[in-house]
Chains A and B, each alone.
Chain A
């Protein structure tokens, strides 16, 4: 069997080609790996560049009162104007809908990058990949999003080669050691995205921008901007459900939720949620630690 370390110079070469990008294993992390019996084999990565051509074509907003978005079977909700008289500038209807094409785009990008990274690890004979870093580089004038996953491939010393795909985790170092000590084994890095488009209708427009009198709003009291609230809650629910859908009975820990909102065009927004976490499996019964000893530092 070829020396797995013979791959290292190539990994180093790649690393330096990126302008001195760090290997991701600091000295303490490296120490922790050795302590865990994990042998670092090399730096592995996967790329996937996706071009998004769907911008603008995901349902054109019509002005004649018909929701045009097909919504791809996901969440969709229409909001009707409560006012009787309508002028041409009056947004007589609005819609929240799940942009399944956007979500599929992200899923494909991330999954492809991840599986390519795992392929490199398999070539090295690794059992798993620790310290996974994932970034998305958006080159908007070319309408390209570049998904990049990288980490350190490791082999479990004194263990047989595995028939399974390599396990992956965002964690490394002492944090990972604690995961094992707590009774968990890492399975995979999980990423889920939800995208909800908000085509504002008249009520939303007036409430957000102010300036409309009680006649349009129906009251001079503060009121909830229902369309937005519903959209944001839905976006969070959807992303949680999608992440759950990747668990298959396992648990998700160390979750990070990023929410961005931006105005696509006038009174037309997108709420996007991205959830990332570590899928872990319990391998032994829970053995609670004794309550920790509180200390006060003198220096």
Chain B
């Protein structure tokens, strides 16, 4: 029977399990009662950099899109009321998740899922994530609480490499696609031609959304934004309204120097198999 003197790989798991089960006779000792939606793999990774999960937190908001935006479907250019509603909702949601994290004693929130829905008259934003903190750290973080949609794993990787997440930053812009005159439509029928005013309008909208995201990043003194996601799509409140949005995590170099990543190259000998485990069977 292997004992503790063996190499870690030979650690007797069955003995550990027996010891663990015997421990159930005793009441719990920590009493901190963290709740966390991290998987056990993510927890181990977070632990390996000295952080721990604290609490499942969320922040949400629902904001109305004023009547004027929906009424004037012949409108041109930027749809300011829709943009403002979206900005307001996102801002309020971030503020609320921030507050919940602070209340729980977290230093940051990772793994935030960003759910956005634009309805005919309202914008819905819901953020859910896990508040984390360095193990045993004091309740108030000196540098402010970060909110980030980085997965726990990505957070750990970035931290090892010497980067610090600062905030979830986003930008959006809603526009009407310009109209073509009937004459133009007929004339262009057989031609291959670029529709320059369309291109320009869409370009502007996209750039505006990105720029708003960048402004948020600059406001928190970030060096950059990683994992930028861009989305675009038609809007339900007007048939030719299109929304562009971008969001990501603003980061800055941390004070502790990072390690080089220096990955090893592996060749996996697994064949991909249809793996399943009990928790996923339905």
Interface residues in chain A, defined as those with a beta carbon under 8 Å from any beta carbon in chain B: 22, 24-26, 28-29, 35-38, 127-128, 130-133, 135, 151-152, 156-159, 162, 164, 167, 170-173, 175, 177-182, 184-185, 187, 207-214, 217, 220-225, 228-229, 232-233, 236, 240, 243-244, 247-257, 259, 277, 281-284, 286, 288-299
Contact = CB atoms under 8 A, between A and B. Distances in A.
Interface stretch (B42-50, B172-180, B193-201): B42-50
B266 A37 contact: no
Contacts of B96: 233
A28 B276 CA distance: 9
A222 B24 CA distance: 54
- For the complex of A and B, list the 5 residue pairs with the smallest distance between their C-beta atoms, beginning with the closest: A131-B278, A37-B14, A210-B121, A222-B85, A283-B23
Given A213-B67, A255-B35, 13 more contacts: A38-B17, A158-B14, A181-B11, A220-B81, A222-B65, A222-B84, A244-B33, A253-B35, A256-B37, A277-B37, A281-B23, A283-B23, A284-B19
Interface centre among A35, A170, A222 (most CB of B within 10 A): A222
A173 B30 CA distance: 27
24 contacts: A36-B14, A152-B278, A158-B18, A171-B278, A172-B277, A172-B279, A182-B40, A185-B20, A224-B61, A224-B62, A232-B126, A243-B35, A250-B33, A251-B30, A252-B36, A253-B40, A254-B39, A282-B30, A283-B19, A283-B20, A288-B48, A290-B48, A291-B49, A296-B266
A37 B40 contact: no
Chain B interface secondary structure, helix, strand, loop or mixed? mixed
Q: From DSSP, what is the main secondary structure of chain A's interface residues?
A: mixed
Interface of B: 11, 13-25, 27-41, 43-45, 47-50, 53, 55-56, 58, 60-68, 70, 81, 84-85, 88-89, 92, 96, 120-123, 126, 128, 135, 156-157, 160, 261-268, 275-279, 281-282
Given A225-B63, A291-B160, A255 B56 contact: yes
A47 to B, nearest CB: 17
Contacts of A211: 67, 121
A127 B23 CA distance: 13
B157 to A, nearest CB: 7
Contacts of A214: 67
Given A26-B276, A293-B264, A180 B81 contact: no
A282 B29 contact: yes
A138 B35 CA distance: 29
